[in-house]
Structure 1
C-alpha cells in the first residue's frame, strides 16, 4: 500500500470516530437523561483520548512525507495540506489536556444549562474558570510563541487573525450603528406579532419550512434543544430548534438557520465522505449558509408572503392582516437582549461585543469573576438597555461553556460572506423571488450547492467566496443590502 493510501485509510477511521463523538454531543443536548451527565463526560473524554492518539500518531508524519511524491491532483494536495495542518496542531497539545478539555466541557454544558435556568451566574463561574485555564494552556501550546487568541481562532477560521477581524468590525460598526439609530428613530414602526401559538403547530410549520428549503428528511431529523444547533455530516445531519409559545418566529427561523448548516453538510460531494475534504471549509463559510437561508432568503418579501399565508391558516388568523405588514414585522428592529433572536441590523453588534470580551478573557485582562459586570456594562453602552437577568445576558450562549473561544467572530464573518453570495445569487437566479413566493427555496439551495456546498473543504474560505461571488470579499454588499432593505421597511 502506498503512503498516500495508508494515510487515507487511517484518516477514514479517524473521521468515522470523530462523527461518533459528535453524535454523543448531539445526544447530550437533545435526549440524554439529565442524570447521565457524569457518565457522558467520561465517555466523551475516552473518545477524545482515542482521537487525540490517532491524530498525533507518528505514522501520520511519515505518511505525509512519503505521500508528497504520490499526489495526482488538487484534491490529493488539499487533503495532505489539511491533514498536515491538523497533525501539527494536535501534536502540540498534550494528550492529558485534550482529554481533560473534553471531560470538563461536557460537564460544564450541564452546569451552564442549570445555571441559566436558575439565573445563577455564580454557579457557572467555577466551571468557566476551569475551562478558561485549559483553553489558555491549549492556546499557548498551539500558538508556539504567537498570539494565543489567533491560535484558537485559526481552528475555526483558518488564516484569519484577531487584527484582521477587528479591522472589518471597525469598518462595519459606524454604518450599522447609524442604520440602527435611524431605524429606531423612524416614524414608521412595524406591528409586533402577538398572541399565543401552540408548540405543536409551530413545530409542524417548522417542518414545512425545512422542507421548503430542501432539507433531506431521509438523512436528517429535528429535535428540541436549549440552544439550537445542527450536528452531523455526509448521510446524517440533524437539526434542532426551540419553541417559545409567544414568539413563533423564534422556532421557525431557528429551524431555517440550522437547515442552512445541514444543507451545507449534506450537499458536499459524496466522494469526500470520511476524508479531510468532507466538511465545511470554515465556520465563517458555514455560518454564511445558515445566515443567507435565515435572512436574505427566508426574511425576504417574497418568502414571507408564503409564510404569512401558512401562518394565518395554521393559527386561525394573526393580529397582522396583510403580507406587507407581516414582512415588516418579521424584520422588526428592537433593542432585544438575545443574540440568536436579534434582527439583522443589530446582530453583528452582539458579535463584536463577545469578540472583545473573549479576547480579554483569553489574554487575562478580564477575570471570570468580573465577566458579568463587564458584559452588562458593555451591553448598556452598545445597546442602551440594562440587562435584566443572566439568561438575557452572560448566560445566554453555550459557547464558552463548551470551550468555543474564537468561535463567535465567525458568525459576523458568515454575515459578510452571505452578503457577497446573496448579491451574486440574485444576479444568477433572476426568477428566485417567484419561486420563494410559492414557498420553494430550492433554486437558492441549488445555486449554493453548486457554488459552495459541493466543494466541502477543497477550496479555502476566502477564495471559495470570491470564486462563488465573482468579487473580492468585502462587507459592502452586506451593508448595502441592510441599508436598502431597512430604509424601505422604515421609510427612511
Structure 2
C-alpha cells in the first residue's frame, strides 16, 4: 500500500470512531436514562481520549509527507487531514478529555436549570467550561485572536472582525424592516387552539417526507433542543412539541431535515473521509434555513400545509390558506431564537455573537452574563426578558462548549439568500411542486449543487460555484423585504 492508502485506512477508522461518539451524544439527548449522566461523561471523555490520540498520531505526519494524492478529492482529503492533525496536536490530550467530560455533564445541568428557571444552578458550570474553552483557544491561536481560533472549527477561514462587519452592514435594514412590520396596520392573527402531541408528530413525519427525508437511514425523536446527528447511512433528527404551538414542532422538523439531507446527500465515495460531512456549519445552516424558510414558509408550501393541518386537527382558527400563510410568517417580539421569525432571527444571533466574543476575550464575566443578556435583549428587541428560560438559558450551545458556533447561523442565512435566488432561477416550477407538498425539485437542485460535494470545496467556493456569483449579503434582505412587505402591505 502507498503512504496515501495507509493514511486513508487509518482515517477511516478514526471517522468511524467519531461516528460512534456522535451516537453517544444523540443517545444522551434523546433516550439515555437521567441517572446515567456521570457514566456517560466518563464514556465521552474516554472516546475523546482515543480520538485525540489517533488525530495526533505521529504516523499521520509521516504519511502526509510521503503521500502522493492523484485526484482533486485525494488532494483535498490530505489537506483536511493535515489541518486537523496540526490543530489537534496543539491541544493537550488532558484538555481534550476534560472538555468532553465537562460538556457531557453540563448538558444535564443546563437542561435542569432551564426547566427550573434557575441560572444560579448552571452559571458556575458554564464558568468552568469557559475556562476550558479559553485554554483550548490559547493553544490553537498561537498568539492570535482567541475567538477566531474557536470560530475556525465551525467556519474555516472566517474571522470575527469580518463577521462583525457583515452584521453591522445587515443590521440597519433588518431593524428598519422589523419596525415597519411591527408598526403596520395589517397584523396576522396568531394560531390558537390545542394541538395534540401525537398528531403533531404524525404531521412532522409527513413534512419530513415532503422534503425528501430518507426514513431507511434516519429516525425522528424528541429532544429539549432540536438537533440532527450522524451522516452517510444513519442521520437522525429530533424535534420538540408544544401543544399550543404546532409550528414549533413542524418547522423544527423541517429545519433538521435540511441538516440531515445534506449529510445523506453527500457522495457515497466520501464516506469515512473528511469529505464525508458538511464542509462548514454556515453551509450546513444554509440547507436547514432554505428548507425551513424559503421553501417551507413560502406561500406555495403553506397552502399545502394548511390543508393537512386542517384535516388533522379538525379545522384551524385562521380562515383560509392566505391567512394561514400570514400566520406562519407572523412577526412578534418573542424571546426564543429557534421560534423567531425570519425578520428578527439574525438579530438574535448578533446578540449571542457579541456576548460570546466578550466572554472569550475576558471582557465579560459569567457572573455578569445574566444582566448583560437581559440589558442587550431589552435594547435590541424592546422587550424585557420575563424569565431565564426565555433568556440566557434558552440555548444548549454554551453548555456543550460550542463557542464560535452561533455566527454560522447568520452566515447560513446569508448563504441561503444567495442559493435561493439561484435555485429559483434554475427551477422555475418549484412553487408548483411545493403547492403539492413536493419539495423534490428544490431538494434535487441543492443536492446537485451543494450537498453531494461534502467537504470537497471550501465553504465560500462551494456557494459561489453553486450560485455562479460572489457571496453577497444583499439577496437575504431583498428577499425579506419583498416577502414581508407583501404580507404586511408595506
Output the TM-score relative to the length of structure 2: 1.00
Gapped runs of 5+ residues in structure 1? none
1:423 to 421, 424, 433: 421
**Take 2:190 and 2:35, find their aligned partners in 1: how far apart are those partners?**
40
Equivalent in the alignment of 1:360: 358
Equivalent in the alignment of 2:384: 386
**Take 2:301 and 2:168, find their aligned partners in 1: how far apart are those partners?**
32
What are the residue-to-residue correspondences of 1:206-355 with 2, within 5 Å? 206-355=204-353
Measured after TM superposition, the shift of residue 43 of structure 1 is 0.2
Query: Where in structure 1 do 4 or more consecutive aligned residues deviate above 3 Å?
Result: none
Equivalent in the alignment of 2:128: 130
**Take 1:126 and 1:343, find their aligned partners in 2: how far apart are those partners?**
32
What are the residue-to-residue correspondences of 1:157-168 with 2, within 5 Å? 157-168=155-166
Equivalent in the alignment of 1:94: 92
Measured after TM superposition, the shift of residue 470 of structure 1 is 1.2
**Take 2:241 and 2:281, find their aligned partners in 1: how far apart are those partners?**
26
What are the residue-to-residue correspondences of 1:145-184 with 2, within 5 Å? 145-184=143-182
Instruction: State yes or no: 1:15 paired with 2:4.
Output: no
Instruction: State yes or no: 1:108 paired with 2:106.
Output: yes
Deviations 1:387-425 (A, max 9, x none): 000000000000000000000000000000000000000
- DSSP-derived class of the 2:236 partner: strand
Deviations 1:174-207 (A, max 9, x none): 0000000000000000011001100000000000
Deviations 1:455-486 (A, max 9, x none): 00001000100110111101100110000000
Measured after TM superposition, the shift of residue 126 of structure 1 is 1.2
**Take 1:299 and 1:273, find their aligned partners in 2: how far apart are those partners?**
33
**Take 2:394 and 2:315, find their aligned partners in 1: how far apart are those partners?**
32
Equivalent in the alignment of 2:30: 30
Equivalent in the alignment of 1:489: 487
Equivalent in the alignment of 1:52: 52
Instruction: State yes or no: 1:62 paired with 2:62.
Output: yes
Equivalent in the alignment of 1:466: 464
- DSSP-derived class of the 2:363 partner: coil
**Take 2:468 and 2:201, find their aligned partners in 1: how far apart are those partners?**
38
Deviations 1:316-347 (A, max 9, x none): 00011211000000000000000000000000
**Take 1:491 and 1:125, find their aligned partners in 2: how far apart are those partners?**
44
1:414 to 412, 433, 446: 412
Equivalent in the alignment of 1:476: 474
Measured after TM superposition, the shift of residue 71 of structure 1 is 1.6
Measured after TM superposition, the shift of residue 73 of structure 1 is 1.2
**Take 1:2 and 1:342, find their aligned partners in 2: how far apart are those partners?**
52
**Take 2:398 and 2:248, find their aligned partners in 1: how far apart are those partners?**
22
- DSSP-derived class of the 2:235 partner: strand
- DSSP-derived class of the 2:122 partner: helix
Deviations 1:243-282 (A, max 9, x none): 0000000000000000000000000000000001000000
Measured after TM superposition, the shift of residue 158 of structure 1 is 0.2
Output the TM-score relative to the length of structure 1: 0.99
Equivalent in the alignment of 2:190: 192
**Cα RMSD after superposing both structures:** 0.4
**Take 2:212 and 2:285, find their aligned partners in 1: how far apart are those partners?**
18
**Take 2:138 and 2:472, find their aligned partners in 1: how far apart are those partners?**
31
- DSSP-derived class of the 1:416 partner: helix
**Take 1:205 and 1:435, find their aligned partners in 2: how far apart are those partners?**
19
**Take 2:327 and 2:233, find their aligned partners in 1: how far apart are those partners?**
37
Deviations 1:187-232 (A, max 9, x none): 0000110011000000000000000001000000000000000000
- DSSP-derived class of the 1:171 partner: helix
1:203 to 189, 201, 204: 201
Equivalent in the alignment of 1:3: 3
**Take 1:33 and 1:387, find their aligned partners in 2: how far apart are those partners?**
32
Gapped runs of 5+ residues in structure 2? none
- DSSP-derived class of the 1:240 partner: strand
Measured after TM superposition, the shift of residue 142 of structure 1 is 0.3
**Take 2:14 and 2:69, find their aligned partners in 1: how far apart are those partners?**
21
Equivalent in the alignment of 2:71: 73
